[in-house]
Chains A and B, each alone.
Chain A
Amino acid sequence: QSVLTQPPSVSAAPGQKVTISCSGSSSNIGNNYVSWYQQLPGTAPKLLIYDNNKRPSGIPDRFSGSKSGTSATLGITGLQTGDEADYYCGTWDSSLSSYWVFGGGTKLTVL
């Protein structure tokens, strides 16, 4: 059971928009910045979003992030078949000592 809760799956048609939620608590999302990772089939995760809403160099602006209270959201617009992947949120948790936590992951299907 992951500390951060994500929907197991989402789907949308090519060209459409999709959002993926990540719910936590005051000890993690509520007091820390959220990052998002994309894991294409058979590959290592890749950083998509950091500091809630910033994109590393090379990540297209179709990907966006936001945070409100103890929840965060990843948005993807103009969906492409190449976006089919698992998406994970992550952040620090300060409940015991500072340690990292991931969400349970969301499988995006582009229909």
Chain B
Amino acid sequence: QITLKESGPTLVKPTQTLTLTCTFSGFSLSTSGVGVGWIRQPPGKALEWLALIYWNDDKRYSPSLKSRLTITKDTSKNQVVLTMTNMDPVDTATYYCAHLYWLGLNPVFDYWGQGTLVTVSS
């Protein structure tokens, strides 16, 4: 079955760079049509999509955060890494990674990791 798990620091200081790793199993990121995305959720607030990477290394970013984000994949390790530069307290959130796949006519996020809470504070 498909599982994803996020890992990374729980606390980062303002201006630092955050690096999060999504380690997954049950699928390969070299399979046509597959992608992995990152979504975050500040405490008590809505989901916000951040970035995604496809099996063919096509990358998409949130327009509002594009300058701060980089997403990469390591197919051999079944991992996707997200980096976010210049962290600020408003970036405090639970960060999720999710499996993207074409269940039908559009790709959707059909499996999600449990999420990891990242707090930005000095």
Where the two chains meet, the residues of A that have a C-beta atom closer than 8 Å to any C-beta of B are: 2, 32-33, 35, 37, 39, 44-47, 50-51, 54, 56, 88, 90-92, 96-105
Contacts and interface: CB of A to CB of B under 8 A. Distances in A.
Contacts of B103: 50-51, 54, 56
Interface string B47-83: 1110010000000111100000000000000000000
User: Interface size for chain B: under 10, 10 to 19, 20 to 34, or 35 or more residues?
Assistant: 20 to 34
B47 A88 contact: yes
A33 B106 contact: yes
B104 interface: yes
Given A44-B96, A44-B115, A45-B47, A99 B104 contact: no
Interface in B3-60: 37, 39, 46-49, 52, 60
Given A44-B112, A50-B106, A97 B47 contact: no
B121 interface: no
Contacts of A105: 46-47
Contacts, number: 68
Interface of B: 37, 39, 46-49, 52, 60-63, 96, 103-106, 108-110, 112-115
Contacts of A101: 49
Contacts of A90: 47, 49, 108-109
A54 B105 CA distance: 11
B49 A45 contact: no
Contacts of A102: 39, 46-49
